[in-house]
Amino acid sequence: MSMRCENVRREISNYIDGVIGAAQRQNMDDHFKSCKHCTAVLEGMRNVISLAGDSRAHKVPAGFSNRLFSKLSPHATAERSPSPTDEIPIGITGDSVALGSHLIYFWESQAEFERGVRFVESGLQRHEHCILFGHDEALDRASQVLRSSGFSPEQLVRNRELTVLRRHASAEITLSDIEAVVEAAVRAGSPAVRFLGNLGMGRSPLPAGEDDVIQLEERVTAVISRFPCVVVCMYDVRTLPGRLIVKGGLQTHRLAVCDEGLRENPYYIPELHSAHRIHHVQ
């Protein structure tokens, strides 16, 4: 005796999940052979289940990720300065710069190096997350400068106020590290992120080459344009070749920190960045 359509349809969901007895399954199989309506219900249900369970069905909209942690921020910033501003003091000179700025600072003497580290000290005092980046020697040296100024880099790192980021030989890996740290710091409520990059040739770990350095500089500009971040790149003029100082230093930074203050850099080539961005979108 064949099952009634009504009884079959009631059980189709369980049939698909395989939670009905063997005898009933046999009866339903027999029924489907002769009933195109119940077969249509079965096929439609299977189709809908496979569509709903596919990750492509639920595309996360643009901006969702950035807003997801927004309710955490008041908890993170309760003890901090009340309102993040669009400009922050760079500490090296008396100037302030807009968030998103990418600055070049050439140094030669120990005093000039220490002056550059003031960019980080100023940020730490303002409870802005700071990132020290570069080759091993520069990181050690910058940590010593911080210690001599009364900071404890170890404690700051434990408190998530400072991140010490060692460069990789590959710009690609380095860049994804930078992006992940900046993103995490912003999501955790830091009103601004300061990034002090150090570049010197002949220091471990070595960049893959000059092109690698230039690529990194260009892409850092693209990354920070999406976050409330300011980057200062310290170039060790004692070790860097002229080509790198021109291509990596002068042509990729809009602003230069000079003895007398902050200067628009006349050698900056904005087209480099736009051409690069188009290339990466494709």
Partner 1 sequence: MLESLQAVTERAMSSSGSSMGARNKLSSGFGADDAERALLQRACEGDKQSFCLLVQPYEAVLYVTATALTSTDGDAEDLAQQAVLTAFLKLPEFNCDNAFRTWLIEITIGEARHRAKGDSVSVVDQTRHAETEYLPENAAPWLNIPIEALEGERFRDMLRSALRSLPANYREVFVLRDVHKLGVAETARILSLSEPEVRSRLSGARLRMRDALAYKYVNGSGGNTLERRVS
One of 90, 103, 145, 165 touching partner 1 (CB under 8 A): 165
CA atoms within 13 A of residue 96's CA, in its CB half-sphere: 7
Place of tokens 């930074």: 253
How far apart CA 95 and CA 195 sit, in angstroms, is 17
Shortest approach of partner 1 to residue 197 CB, angstroms?
14
One of 59, 82, 279, 282 touching partner 1 (CB under 8 A): 59
Site residues (CB under 8 A) for partner 1, limited to 185-224? 185, 187-189
CA 44-45-48 angle, 5° bins: 85
Binding flag, residue 157, partner 1 (CB under 8 A): yes
How far apart CA 135 and CA 220 sit, in angstroms, is 17
Shortest approach of partner 1 to residue 169 CB, angstroms?
15
In the chain, which ranges are continuous DSSP H helix? 5-17, 22-34, 36-52, 64-68, 73-77, 110-125, 136-148, 153-158, 171-187, 210-224, 242-244, 270-281
Binding flag, residue 264, partner 1 (CB under 8 A): no
CA 189-195-199 angle, 5° bins: 160
Shortest approach of partner 1 to residue 6 CB, angstroms?
7
One of 2, 14, 110, 204 touching partner 1 (CB under 8 A): 14
Binding flag, residue 238, partner 1 (CB under 8 A): no
**Stretches 65-73, 93-101, 109-117, 209-217: which one binds partner 1 (CB under 8 A)?**
65-73
Q: What 8-state DSSP symbol labels residue 240?
A: S
Pick the closer one to partner 1 by CB: 17 or 271.
17
Pick the closer one to partner 1 by CB: 18 or 150.
18
Binding flag, residue 147, partner 1 (CB under 8 A): no
Residue burial 118-153, b: 16+ Cβ < 10 Å; e: rest: bbbbbbbebbbbbbbbbbeebbebbbebbeeeebeb
Identify whether the C-beta of residue 239 lies closer than 8 Å to the C-beta of residue 203.
yes
- CB atoms under 10 Å from CB of 186, counted, come to 20
What would the x/- binding string for partner 1 be over residues 20 to 49, using CB under 8 A? ----------------xxx-xx-xxx-xxx
Shortest approach of partner 1 to residue 66 CB, angstroms?
10
Binding flag, residue 146, partner 1 (CB under 8 A): no
**Stretches 56-64, 81-89, 115-123, 212-220: which one binds partner 1 (CB under 8 A)?**
56-64
Place of tokens 């496979």: 50
User: Which residues form the interface with partner 1 (CB under 8 A)?
Assistant: 6, 9-14, 16-17, 19, 36-38, 40-41, 43-45, 47-61, 64-65, 67-72, 75-76, 139, 143, 153-154, 157-158, 160, 163-166, 176-177, 180-181, 184-185, 187-189
